[in-house]
Amino acid sequence: MIVKSLDEIIGTEDETSGETWSSRRFLYKKDNVGFSMNDTIIKAGTESYFWYKNHIEAVYCVGGEGEIEDIATGEVHPIKDGTIYVLNDHDKHYLRAKTEMRMVCVFNPPLVGKETHDEEGVYPLLTE
């Protein structure tokens, strides 16, 4: 059984940040559960370009408000508390936060813990 609290993660090596986001990582590849899970904060008033070329990501918004734009189609979808989106086609996208957003993110294959977005907006596929 794995039991962790957010208080145990904030300010440790399990918290990774970028210019527009902060990711608190609860589960990693080393936990052997087949996925990784993060609690992520997207800063208010920001726009982020992401492309998970190497991962499928499911994102469940548990706070805040913003929108996601599918770059391939130009479709824009509102995101708010209770909304999920899944990047099942490795979709290139913009995420815009009107307010601070709190997201629960699940990745497959699982993250090893050190990933951050490269110049393409991609998490590299790392091994431990």
In this prediction the pTM is: 0.88
CB 33 within 8 A of CB 27: yes
Q: Is residue 97 included in any domain, yes or no?
A: yes
Give pLDDT tens digits for 106-124. 999 998 876 665 666 556 5
Tell me what pLDDT residue 116 has: 64
Question: Mean pLDDT, to the nearest integer, of 4-30?
Answer: 94
Evaluate whether residue 26 is within a structural domain.
Answer: yes
Task: State the residue range of the domain holding 42.
Answer: 21-108
Helix (H, G, I), strand (E, B) or coil at 78: strand
What six digits make up the tokens of 39? Answer: 């609690």
Q: What does the pLDDT look like over 75-92, one tens digit per residue? A: 999 999 999 999 999 999
Residue closest to 95 by CA, chosen among 123, 54, 61? 61
Q: Which residues contact 1 (CB under 8 A, 6 or more apart)?
A: none
Domain count, the chain: 1
Q: pLDDT tens digits for 36-77?
A: 999 999 999 999 999 888 889 999 999 999 999 999 999 999
> 65: which residues sit within 8 A by CB, 6+ positions away?
78, 79, 80, 81, 97, 98, 99, 101
Asked if the structure places residue 123 within a domain, the reply is: no
- What CATH number does residue 32 fall under? 2.60.120.10
Q: Can you point out the beta strands (E) in 53-120? A: 56-63, 65-70, 76-80, 84-86, 93-97, 101-108
